[in-house]
Amino acid sequence: MSIIIKNLSKRFGDFCAVDRVTMEVPHGALVALLGPSGSGKSTILRLIAGLEQPDEGEVFLTGEEATGLPARKRGVGFVFQHYALFKHMTVSENIAFGLEVRKVPKAEIKKRVQAMLDLIQLDSFSHHYPSQLSGGQRQRVALARALCPEPRVLLLDEPFGSLDAKVRYELRSWLRRLHDTVHVTSLFVTHDQDEAMSIADRVVLIHKGRLEQEGTPRELLEEPATPFVRDFLGMPPLDEPHW
């Protein structure tokens, strides 16, 4: 298991954002953390990344205890909803950042950045600044920047959330194909059940800070564990006719 969280809880004041969540992400899988907005799924992702510290519970990354480690020592790649690209750096400089802070030799960095540019098909934009790119291009750069240092796991927070419908659709199938070539264990947050069901190997459904159900998309559709799961996945309740 690449990501294991045990009994994870996080409160903000009186509000319990994450309530004793236990889940696992298998090695090499693409897993969706699905739930309505405000359900606590982004907080779970930030707890795994070390951008928030839990009140209770533990986080394990590739078998090692990571609870209490600062974000910079966890070796995770994180993709933000609004890209969070470094505005004053070019595409190449953004992608190289993670290797530069690790003091990787220059020649090696150059090679890796080039490989990443090929992967995201933005070779001709390497000297552009983020403000000169479209939303979809920015998100691809953000992904390349996160992948470049070869993270143990990749975490994506609503990665397509601020894109228009068409780009969103293209990019999500692109992410699925990318995952099939790179095979990095990935967990992505989304509130769009269609997005989760169509590209994830497994889906974890979160509701009010709690884990509602976990399984393959097919399992969730065929055997919804609670009325909420059934309702959220867009199926009519059993006891009502649906015409």
Partner 1 sequence: MPEASVPSYGAWHFGPDRWRHRTVTAATLAWFAVLTLVPVGALAKAALMGGWAPFRALAASPDARHAFILTILATAASVLLNGVFGLVLAVLLARYEFPGKAILDALLDMPFAISPVVAGFMLLLLLGPKGLLGHFFEAAGVHVVFAIPGIILATLFVSLPFVVREVVPVLKEVGLEQEEAAQTLGAGPWTTFRRVTFPAIRWGLAYGVSLTAARALGEFGAVLVVSGNIIGRTQTTTLFINQEFADFHFEGAYCAALVLALASMLLLLGMEAAKRFAKGTS
Q: Where along the sequence are the contacts to partner 1 (CB under 8 A)?
A: 49-51, 70-78, 80, 82, 84-88, 97-98, 101-102, 129, 131-132, 145-146, 149
Q: Alpha-carbon distance 101 to 228, whole Å? A: 45
β-pair type (76-79, 153-157): parallel
Q: How many C-beta atoms lie closer than 10 Å to residue 146's C-beta?
A: 22
For the bound state, the minimum distance from the C-beta of residue 189 to partner 1, rounded and expressed in Å, comes to: 15
Give whichever of 152 and 176 is closer to partner 1, judged by the CB atom: 152
Q: Alpha-carbon distance 194 to 199, whole Å? A: 9
For the bound state, the minimum distance from the C-beta of residue 144 to partner 1, rounded and expressed in Å, comes to: 12
Backbone φ and ψ for 106, nearest 5 degrees, come out as -55, -45
Q: How many C-beta atoms lie closer than 10 Å to residue 107's C-beta?
A: 8
For the bound state, the minimum distance from the C-beta of residue 209 to partner 1, rounded and expressed in Å, comes to: 22
Give whichever of 121 and 132 is closer to partner 1, judged by the CB atom: 132
Give whichever of 101 and 115 is closer to partner 1, judged by the CB atom: 101
Give whichever of 151 and 224 is closer to partner 1, judged by the CB atom: 151
For the bound state, the minimum distance from the C-beta of residue 9 to partner 1, rounded and expressed in Å, comes to: 21
Both structure tokens of 228? 């909420």
